[in-house]
Each structure stands twice: as structure tokens, then as C-alpha cells.
Structure 1
Amino acid sequence: MPRNPRNDADRFLDKVTPTAGGCWQWTGSVKPSGYGQFRVGARIRSAHRVAYELWHGEIPDGLVIDHLCHRRDCVRPDHLEAVTQRINIRRGVNIAARRARQTHCCRGHEFDAANTYRAPNGTRKCRRCRAMAQNRARHRREVACAAS
């Protein structure tokens, strides 16, 4: 028998508390990662995904839900946006997100097509800095050979 979505919405809203910052804090069950959980039928689902689907509709294939407020326990529908995983990571605040947003290397050289290469581990590297490091190493070897 199909579930009544209105009943799910009512049950869902019973587990929400508005905060002073405008978020809807999830007061139901929470995973160790900080994301809320909500039972829909026999399945336990992420509360923020359920919120998005209740108010915005189905999540398009290949997209994830981004918390625009950066709070994992927020389920306010207008704080949630369906985006690609790449966009979600770039909007984050962790080290991977900060590095993905970098436009220049630590010495100020621009990461552009001519000056950037991908290391085997997938990270971006500056060609100019690499060339300078190779020149310094070559010079050290020459000095060491001349001294012996």
C-alpha cells in the first residue's frame, strides 16, 4: 500500500526545531557523522535528503544534496540544494575544498593550463616551482661533485 506523503511530512516536522540562525535543526535520530536519519516505510534515510524530496521533489540522478548553511543537522528545504559532488566538495570548508579553490601556488604562480600539471595522486602542481626545485637540486649536485 503506498504511503501518504502528508503523513511523512507531518512526522518529519515533528522532529524539527527552528534555530535563531534560520536553520531547521534535526532533533530525531542522528548518525555519528552528524547527519539526521528518518524512517520512510521500512527504510532509514538521510533526513536532509528526505527534506529535499518532500519540498522540492526527486533528487536528480548524479546529484547530491549540499547544505548551503554548512550544518549537517539542518533540514530546512531552502538551505538544501542538489549539486554535483564536485561542486559540493568545492563549497566545503575542509582542506580539499580550500585547495580546490586555490588559483595560485604557495609562491604566487597562477594555476593555469601552461603552468599546472597533475601529479600521479591527482593533486595540482606548479611547473615553475618544480623547475626551480630541479635547478636547485642540480646546482647542489654540481657543487658537491666539484668539492670532491
Structure 2
Amino acid sequence: MRRKRKLIDERIIGKYEQRGQDECWPWTGARTSANYGHLLADGGDDGARRTVLAHRAMYELHVGPIPAEAVLDHTCHTRDPSCPGNAGCEHRACVNPAHLEPVPFGENCMRGRGIAPRNAAKTHCNNGHEYTPDNVRLNKNGARVCRKCAAARLRRWKERHPDYVPPNRRR
């Protein structure tokens, strides 16, 4: 006889510590290496089992579907300046639907503590030149490049390679 499979909401019961509405509800079940709670759930029409992130499952159960273009931001993390971020972040295990907000991926990154928001906050390059529209260009990866520093690098390179002739000027 086949074992009856449990629905996601049945699997979630007892796997988180429900506290006050404004407090984090930490996931007490299994966690990923990045510290997000996860659980095994029945799949869609094919009946296959799949792993789902606990905070996403809780949001969908209590609030509704997550927009296709959005990811869930843990607003409890955004409000806590003492949180180290990354895998050490306990907020990643929070499944309180009131602490989850669907936002575009880029906005979620900029709310975090990673390299992208730190670089975006910079107003000067490493050599002290101000980032202004006239002094900045974007490289092929979209990163800001200081024009003054780039010109100085090119000048130094040409001093070290006085005999170099670009391929399009060779005869």
C-alpha cells in the first residue's frame, strides 16, 4: 500500500517557532548551506517530490502567489544593522510572512550587505577621483570605470611599451 503524501501546509506544522507578529519566526527544520529553511513537498501534476524553500512556501500559504519577476526579501534582515549577512544570517531562516516582501532581484541585492550595495554607495574611485557623469564610463560588465584612472593606466602602459604598434596600424 502506498504511503499517503503530505501537503506542504501539513509538512510546515511544527517546523518553525511562532513568536509575536513583529518577531522573526525561525525555521527549526532542515536548512540549506546558505541557512534558508527547506522542506520536501509533493510536486505539481507529475506527482514528483521536490525541495521548496520554507519562507517561500509560508508566504504562498499565508499571503498568496509570489510574482514571477520577484524574489522574497527578508525585511527583518534589512532592518537589522548588526546582522553579518550571507550564510551567517539568522534572518534567512525567518518564515514570518509579515517579514517577507516580494521585490525585483536587483532591489533585493541592493538592500543587502553584499559587494553590489557597497560599491553603489561609493562616490570616489580608489585613487580619490569623484564619480561624476563626465569622469565615469561603464565597462562591458556594467561596472563603473574612472576615466582619469583609465587614462593614467594607458599612459603608463604606453611608456612601458614604446615600440608597440596596434594591429590595425601595422604595415
The normalised TM-score by structure 2 is 0.65
Q: 1:51 aligns with which of 50, 54, 58?
A: 58
CA distance in 2, matches of 1:132, 1:19: 58
The amino acid of 1:36's aligned partner reads: G
- CA deviation map 1:103-144 (0-9, x unaligned): 4333150243x3221223332112233234445x27x939x9
Which aligned runs of 4 or more in structure 1 are off by greater than 6 angstroms? none
Which ranges in structure 2 are unaligned for 5 or more consecutive residues? 43-48, 78-90, 163-171
Q: Which has the higher contact order (CA 8 A, sep 6+)?
A: 2
Amino acid of the residue matched to residue 159 of structure 2? R
- Asked whether the 8 Å contact 2:36–2:54 carries over to 1, the reply is yes
Question: What is the distance in 2 between the residues matched to 1:87 and 1:104?
Answer: 22
Alpha carbon RMSD of aligned pairs, Å? 3.2
Contact 1:38 1:50 survives alignment (8 Å): no
Where do 5+ consecutive residues of structure 1 fail to align?
none
User: How much does 1:26 deviate?
Assistant: 0.4
Tell me which residue corresponds to 1:81.
101
Return the alpha-carbon distance in structure 2 between the equivalents of residues 43 and 33 of structure 1.
18
- Check if 1:15 corresponds to 2:18: no
Match of 1:120 among 125, 140, 164: 140
Q: Map 1:94-109; keep pairs closer than 5 Å.
A: 94-106=114-126, 107-109=128-130
**Shift in alpha-carbon separation, 1:98–1:18, aligned structure 2, 3 A:** farther
The structure-2 alpha-carbon separation of the partners of 1:47 and 1:125, relative to structure 1 and needing over 3 Å to count, comes to same
User: Could you tell me which amino acid in structure 2 is paired with residue 16 of structure 1?
Assistant: Y
Rounded Cα–Cα distance in structure 1 between residues aligned with 2:12 and 2:121? 36
Which deviates more, 84-93 or 21-30? 21-30
SS at match of 2:29: coil
How does the TM-score come out when normalised to structure 1?
A: 0.73
Q: Would you say 1:66 and 2:66 are equivalent positions? A: no
* Structure 2 counterpart of 1:37: 38
For these two proteins, the number of residue pairs brought into alignment is: 136
Displacement of 1:86 after TM fit?
0.6
